[in-house]
Amino acid sequence: MKTINSLLEGIPIPPVVKIRQKFNSEALQDPIAILLEELQRPGGIGRIKEGQKIAILVGSRGIANLAPVTKAVIQAVRERGAYPFIVPTMGSHGGATAQGQKSVLKHLGIDEITMGVPIASSMDVMKIGELKNGLPIYVGKEAATADGIIAINRIKPHTAFRGAIESGIMKMLTIGMGKQKGAEACHQLGFKYMAENVLGMGRRIIEKLPILFGVALLENAYDQTSKIEVLPRELIEEREKELLVKSKGMMPRIMFEQIDVLVVDYLGKNISGDGMDPNITGRYPTPYAYGGPEINKIVVLDLTRETEGNANGIGTADFTTRRLINKINLEKTYINGLTSTVCGPTKIPTILENDRYAIKAAIKTCNILDFNKCRLVRIKDTLHLDEIEISLSMLEEAKGKGDIEILSEPYPLTFDNGNLR
C-alpha cells in the first residue's frame, strides 16, 4: 500500500470540535415497574393457564433493558404456574445456526443461567399456510408447538422499507420466528412488497398460532426505554401502527443536512440490522426507504465485539480499514444478503491500511476544492449520537442551533500507529 499511502500523505485532516446534540429525553424511571403493571391489564398475563408451556420470543437487537424485561416476563409467567422458555427469534442472524443464535442472545445478557429457563434454539420450521401471492408462511417449530407465545421487541422504523408496520412485533412474528427459511420466504419478492407481506403473514400467524400478547418497547434518542406497552393479540396490529409513528418522532439524528465525510467508529448487528442505521446515515440498501442527511463519503473503522464478525451493512460505506476486514466472518455476513436478497450491504468497500489513511481517502474524494474546509462528522455508532465530533468548518453552523451545545475548543484528531485513540 506504499503508493496509496504516499498519495494520501499530504491530505489534511481538519481539526474537530466536540458537541452535544440535545434530543427529547423522555424516559421511564422504572421500566420494570411499568411492565409489571402492563402485564396485569386485560389481554395480558391473565391469559396464561397453569401448566402451560409458554414460548418467549427474543430477538438479536441491542435493545435497552432487554435482559431485565425478559426476566420479568419469565417471572410473571412462572407466577401463573406455567413453564416459560426462550426461543431465539431472529431469522437468519447468528449465522443461521441454532448455536449461533444462542450466542447472539448471550451477548445481549440472555442465557439459560441468567434467565433461569431453557433456551430452545433450533432452525427447524413448519409451514402453516400461504399468502394469496403464493408466498409460504413458515414458523419455528419450538414456538409453534408451545401452548402460548409472547413476543418481546422494540418498535422502530425499518432500514429498507416504509409502511404502516415496519420493525416490531409483527415483523418478529413473520421474519424472526420464521427462522432462516421463513425470513427467506418473506424477502423473496423483495422490499418493494415487504410492508404488505409482513402484514399479511403476521395476520395469518396471529390467527393460526397461540399468540398471547406482545411486549412493545420504544426508545428515545439516548437508547433509553421511553415506553413499554403490552399489546393483546387482537390489538397488536392496530397499536403497533400507532407506536411506530411515536417512535419515528423520537429517533436520534445528525443535526446537519450536508456532510462531506462521516466517520463511523463501529458497525455491528447489535447496533442495527444493517450494521449502521440508514435512517441516520441516509444510505439505504433499497430504493423503498428514504430520509436522513446528504453525505458524500462514509468511512467505517471497526466492528463491534457483539456482531461476531457479521459485517452486514459495510457495503453502504465507501472506505474501511484493514483492521475491520480482518475481523469479518464472511459466512455470517453473506447469509444476510442471501436471505434478504439485498446483496449490496455485504460488498466490501475500498480498504485502507488504518484509520488515518481511510479518513484521508474519504476527504480526498469528497469533491471539494479546499480539504481544510471539509465538513467532517465523527460518531461512535448510529445508536449513540448525543456527543459527536464535527470539523471546524461546521462550528459556526453548530453555534446557531439551539439544540447543540459546544463542549470543547478545536483540537486535532490523534492517532496511535495510524488508528484513532
H/E/C letters for each residue in 279-344?
A: HHHCCCCCCCCCCCCEEEEEEEEEECCCCCCCCCCHHHCCEEEHHHHHHCCHHHHHHHHHHHCCCH
Do the bridges between strand 319-321 and strand 136-140 make them parallel or antiparallel, or are there none, so unpaired?
unpaired
Return the H-helix or E-strand segment holding 243: helix 236-248
**What pLDDT band is residue 256 in, cutting at 50, 70 and 90?**
very high
Q: Is the dihedral of CA 414, 415, 420, 421 positive or negative?
A: negative
Share of the chain above pLDDT 90, in %: 86
The DSSP secondary structure of 244-267, one letter per residue, reads: HHHHHTT----S-SEEEEEEEEEE
User: Cα dist. 252→173, 183, 255, 297 in Å?
Assistant: 26, 28, 9, 20
CA separation for the pair 119, 112 (Å, rounded): 6
Mean pLDDT value of segment 56-69? 93
**What pLDDT band is residue 270 in, cutting at 50, 70 and 90?**
confident
Domains, the chain, ranges and CATH? 2-23+252-420 (no CATH), 31-248 (3.40.50.11440)
**What pLDDT band is residue 343 in, cutting at 50, 70 and 90?**
very high
Residue 421: pLDDT over 90: no
Note whether 218 and 226 are within 8 A (CB). yes
**Confidence (pLDDT) at 160:** 85
Mean pLDDT value of segment 3-20? 97
Average pLDDT value for the chain: 95
What is the phi/psi pair of residue 417, to 5°?
55, 35
Mean pLDDT value of segment 193-198? 91
For the segment 207-249, what is each residue's pLDDT rounded down to a tens digit?
999 999 999 999 999 989 999 999 999 999 999 999 999 999 9
For the record, the C-alpha cell of 74 comes out as 419469565
